Amino acid sequence: MDPADDSYQSEEKIFANRHAEDTLRPMNNQKPDISIVVPLLNEEDNVKPLYEQITQALNNKYNYELIFIDDGSDDNSFNVLSTLQKSDSRVRIICFRKNFGQTAALSAGFEYSRSDVIVALDADLQNDPADIPAMIEKLHEGYDVVSGWRKKRHDHAVTRLLPSKIANKLIAKITGVKLHDFGCTLKVYRKEVLAETKLYGEMHRFIPALASWSGAKICEMVVNHRPRTHGVAKYGLGRTVKVILDLITVKFLGSFSTKPIYIFGGLGLLTGACSVLSGLAVLYQKFISVSHLAMNRNPLLVLTAMLVTATIQFILMGLLAEMLVRTYHESQGRSTYVIREIIESLDNIEDEK
């Protein structure tokens, strides 16, 4: 998938045709208990079996809706989905004009879901829908996100397992969220948590970290992971670079989004200290050392000048970033905090009125 095109957030998120628009309208006035969000790309052989497994796992247990997001498939996936939708009003279809990536597909599913509890899973049949009821029960124990852990994975060792283990440990270390498997799509969320989380790039794997920084309670459950039997995997080693770059972005947003001067100013102070040391070394070699090295022939003088320039640039970048952050929050009326609930006396509420 190509997650680089984030224009999904613009008017391009309108649907491919009138049929797709119609399926988004609620089929009845009853609000579902659960929304199942399934992004897919070229999964024509997996869609119907997945639908049957979800139906078997959830029927007679929950009132649910099933949202399929066709992320620009060029096979018969949409026709299979249309057939399912005609026979089951719980099925809703979102069809993208082209491939925008899994993160954009999940974001669309989250936005158009009608339930307060959202379940996300892949369409490749590697996630087991039978795990959903237990995960929902875990969520009701007081958690905001229940993340699946594919403890026993059935993927290629070199191209999938090894990079995944390295990435998971790195993400857990940097974000401070101790999960074993950030890449597992099978997760259960409270919608109120997702409302505070905006997704770009390939950041769907970082939702637990982003939610945790907003005060959400996160837990992890071991889930069944099955080998792929139809279709081909959409990920390879190439995504590792994207994950690393997104991780840098997530760390910056989580730690410095409201105080960017701390990171840019910190780098500026570091380069400033290095420039002082380099300049002192130049003076030492010129006036004190027995070599009496000429300053115009000393490469440390050039290094000192470069470090002084970098110091000025970092500090100015920090100040500009501080101005942008304040403009962003104040112009959109966004606060720098997230409130879970407010508890107060009814007398106070009457006084305010």
Q: Confirm if 64 and 76 have CB atoms less than 8 A apart.
A: no
Provide the residue type at 90 as one letter.
Answer: R
pLDDT band of residue 3 (cuts 50, 70, 90) is: very low
Stretch 83-110: mean pLDDT: 91
Q: Is the pLDDT of residue 149 over 90?
A: yes
- Say which range, 129-133, 140-144, 198-202, 293-297, has the weakest mean pLDDT: 198-202
353 has a pLDDT exceeding 90: no
Distance CA 170, CA 95 (A): 34
CA–CA dist 162, 155 (Å, integer): 10
Contact call for residues 252 and 277 (beta carbons, < 8 A)? no
Residues 6+ apart with CB under 8 A from 83: none
How high is the pLDDT of residue 344?
67
> Strand, coil or helix: what is 192?
helix
DSSP state of 64: E
CA distance 156 to 211: 30
pLDDT interval class at 4 (50, 70, 90): very low
Strand 117-120 relative to strand 34-40: parallel, antiparallel, unpaired?
Answer: parallel
Tell me the average pLDDT across 261-284. 92
CB atoms within 10 A of CB 99: 20
CA nearest to 74, candidates 38, 98, 92, 48 = 98
What's the pLDDT tens digit per position in 10-21?
Answer: 334 433 443 444
Exposure of 348 by Cβ count < 10 A (0-12 exposed, 13-18 middle, 19+ buried)? exposed
- Count the Cβ atoms, other than its own, within 10 Å of residue 29: 5
Report the C-alpha dihedral over residues 253, 256, 257, 263, rounded to 10 degrees: -110
Residue 9 is predicted with a pLDDT of 40
Mean pLDDT lowest among 91-95, 191-195, 328-332: 328-332
Residues 6+ apart with CB under 8 A from 20: 93, 94, 95
Confidence of residue 262 (pLDDT cuts 50, 70, 90): confident
pLDDT, position 130: 95
Local confidence band at 186 (pLDDT 50, 70, 90 cut-offs): very high
DSSP state of 7: G
pLDDT at position 241: 75
Check residues 237 and 15 and name the one with the higher pLDDT.
237
CA 286 to chain centre: 54
Check if the beta carbon of residue 124 is closer than 8 Å to that of residue 46: yes
pLDDT at position 32 is: 93
Q: Where are the beta strands (DSSP E) in 123-263?
A: 145-149, 187-190, 218-222
Give the pLDDT score at 114: 92
Mean pLDDT check: name the lowest of 45-59, 291-305, 310-324: 291-305
Choose between 16 and 198: higher pLDDT: 198
Tokens matching residue 308: 């002084």
pTM beyond 0.75, yes or no:
no
Mean pLDDT of 244-258: 78
CATH superfamily membership of 6-255: Spore Coat Polysaccharide Biosynthesis Protein SpsA; Chain A (3.90.550.10)
* Amino acid, res. 127: N
